[in-house]
Amino acid sequence: MELVDLGYDGWFQQKARRSVPPECTLARVTRVDRDRYLVRNERVELPAEPTGKLLFSAATGEDLPCVGDWVFVQYHNEGTLAIIHDVLPRKTFLRRKSAGEKAEYQMIAANLDAAFIMQSCDLNFNLRRMERYLVVVNEGHVEPVIILSKCDLLDPEGLEKRIAELRLSRIEGRIIALSNKTGVGREAVREILRPGKTYCLIGSSGVGKTTLLNDLLGREMFETAAVREKDGRGRHTTARRQLSMLDNGALLIDTPGMRELGLMGVGETVDESFSEIHLLSKRCRFGDCSHLSEPGCAILEAVKSGDLPEERYQSYLKLIKESAFHEMSYVERRKKEKHFGRMVKSAMKELKKWKPSSS
């Protein structure tokens, strides 16, 4: 096997040339389990540990190696342990806000060619959540592919309706209806997977990410578990992020189901995910329009005239609010939260006056 088979290309080569630590060679991180790592080189997959220097110089979790990263390693103990000295810059990435008050990120995976955002057709289906995932994927410059899994649980009309709902929310890109049970959609997924390219499965616990991976591998390599009967929620079966190589040479990363996708978009990303609103905003009378109450606000006018679905406007506000907050300190945030909440409330009230039919 060569490094190109593991996804290495000219982009990384150029980055690597700049900064090779002495006596180091390249490997790719294939598993992260808390502070334990596996890396893979041309020959083997083996355990790895970051140097103390790398650990202690990491300002945030983002600076630590994550699955999919290219790293510089030195081999020890007769080649049975790799010591990670440095992480190459990331071409693309997925990251989420860490728990806690500080505005910090946690890496999910790096150097992906596409991300499969999976939602199941049952109770898990949720447009707002989909929008959040898309923001995260866009922000990391990763191409999204939406998978609606467990489509065997829904009749064809129901499925059409869900897809229409996604499209109505201006969610573009590929949508694949998949059933791991009947095999519907599996070929469509397979067709996307290219040798030497890296893909990642993300989505709530229990939607069938690992089941799909096992199917593609052709064997029950990783554990799966039934969802809870009472609410259809998953049991957080997958505990670590793991990269596997499929028979055709594609690289697929399975991730643990995320509880709540902390979002830390920059304004730009929100604009990308809400491109039609972003376009409208250029026609607002004031350059710094908050789109809440200003006269001449093109966005509010579009909502009033019905050109822009009110739902869509609300999720835009929600995202803007969240992303703006992350750039503030905690105390600032607490203050603004109240203020912003009041402004949204009064803007909504205004709209109701204009459009009594909408709710």
Q: CB of 56 within 8 A of CB of 46?
A: no
177 φ, ψ (degrees, to nearest 5): -85, 125
Using the contact rule CB under 6 A, the part of the chain among 80-88, 140-148, 200-208, 331-339 near ligand GTP is 200-208
What's the DSSP call for residue 130? H
CB of 260 to ligand GTP, least distance (A): 14
Binding mask 272-291 for Zn ion (x = CB under 5 A): ------------x----x-x
31's tokens: 């598993």
| Residue 189 binding result from Mg ion, ligand GTP, Zn ion, none, given CB thresholds of 5 to 8 Å by partner type | none
CB of 328 to Zn ion, least distance (A): 21
| Residue 153 binding result from Mg ion, ligand GTP, Zn ion, none, given CB thresholds of 5 to 8 Å by partner type | ligand GTP
Using alpha carbons, list the distances in angstroms from residue 217 to 45, 148, 210, 251, 336.
18, 20, 10, 11, 49
Question: Which residue lies nearer to ligand GTP by CB, 204 or 323?
Answer: 204
302 binds Zn ion (CB under 5 A): no
Closest alpha carbon to 120 in 211, 36, 13 = 211
185 binds ligand GTP (CB under 6 A): no
Q: Which of 238, 242, 273, 315 binds Mg ion (CB under 5 A)?
A: 238
324 φ, ψ (degrees, to nearest 5): -65, -40
Tell me the one-letter amino acid at 213: L
208 binds ligand GTP (CB under 6 A): yes
3-state DSSP assignment of residue 268:
helix
Q: CB of 145 within 8 A of CB of 133?
A: no
Binding mask 153-192 for Zn ion (x = CB under 5 A): ----------------------------------------
| Residue 297 binding result from Zn ion, ligand GTP, Mg ion, none, given CB thresholds of 5 to 8 Å by partner type | Zn ion
What is the residue-wise DSSP string for 275-292?
A: HHHHHHHTTSSSTT--SS
Binding mask 219-258 for ligand GTP (x = CB under 6 A): -----xxxx------xxxxx-----------------xx-
Binding mask 28-57 for Mg ion (x = CB under 5 A): ------------------------------
User: Distance between CA 167 and CA 148 in Å, rounded?
Assistant: 13
